[in-house]
Amino acid sequence: MKSPAPATIILRTAQTIRNRVRGALVWGYEQRLAREVRAHGRLPQHLGLILDGNRRFARASGLQRELGHSIGADKAHEVLQWCLELGIPAATIWVLSTDNKGRDPQELAHILALLEKEARALATDPRIHANRVRVRAIGQHDGFPAHVLAALQDLEAKTAHYDGMRLNIAVGYGGREEIVDAVKAHLQAQERAGHTLMQAAEALTPDHISAHLYAADTPDPDFIIRTSGEIRLSGFMLWQSVYSEYYFCDVYWPGFRRVDFLRALRDYQGRDRRFGR
């Protein structure tokens, strides 16, 4: 085999040097961002994350569609670590929407298999137990395979008594469906209390709906990040997000870097939240 020409060696060496310099610059910028974010001190008390772009990441990278979801699941573990390092008290990650349940059966089966795998991994993850993270799956899980439900229930049971960070995994989730379920739960409670439908309707307040949401004991999200460049909520926490701040990031979820995360938080820290006033 012929050795590369000198010009080729020079080009490869130059490219390697450029990559290392670029990597060093990004690392330095990331460290500066981290210092700024920590120094400011104001962090979201509840961070919402819409994990979007797994399939497009796979397509753009020349990978199989399922690999995009697998890499996206690994990314969720990374982001959990970033939240723990900063001390963010609560996070909700949207993994699977009610609309997604109508996807190609093979793709959906892969996502559910990943969900089961990740639930079992989190149940034994030392970080979860060392930081006393309470994990809960929220959404409509009718039709999920029994083994997937068992994995989610086991994870919830093993962390139910923890008082540290709250991690909500929104799976089979839709904001409209959540509001409907909350209204149903409230009306059922009113019926058990002996109230008529008219009495329940006349006394109804927003607090009654809030009390029956899937994660009613978690504060409303004050900051929501969506990846992939889509500028919409698509039904994520519609009731709770009325005063949330939003951040839309162009990068696909599997490519979401710590520097992107820190940029988003710094942007949040620069906002003046007025809550409609």
Any idea which of 75-84, 108-117, 184-193, 267-276 has the lowest mean pLDDT?
267-276
CA dist 81 and 159 (Å) reads 17
Give Cβ neighbours of residue 149 (< 8 Å, ≥ 6 apart): 141
Confidence band (pLDDT; 50, 70, 90) for 103?
confident
pLDDT of residue 145: 95
Question: Maximum distance among all alpha carbons in the chain?
Answer: 89
Q: How far apart are CA 190 and CA 196, in angstroms?
A: 8
Confidence of residue 137 (pLDDT cuts 50, 70, 90): very high
What local confidence, expressed as pLDDT, does residue 274 receive? 85
- Looking at the domain that runs over 45-174+221-268, which CATH code has it been given? 3.40.1180.10
3-state secondary structure of 253: helix
Indicate the pLDDT class of residue 275, thresholds 50, 70 and 90.
confident
Task: Kindly state the average pLDDT of the residues 39-58.
Answer: 96
Percent helix, strand, coil in the chain, to 5, is 55, 10, 30
The tokens for 88 are 């963010």
Ranges of each domain in the chain: 45-174+221-268
pLDDT given for residue 45 in this prediction: 97
Residue numbers in the known binding site for substrate are: 53-57, 65, 69, 97-99, 103, 226, 232-234
Which residues are catalytic, by number? 52, 100
- Report the distance separating Cα 101 and Cα 174, nearest Å: 11
The pLDDT value recorded for residue 5 is 61
Separation of alpha carbons 121 and 133, rounded Å:
14
Can you say which residues are annotated as belonging to the binding site for Mg(2+)? 52, 245
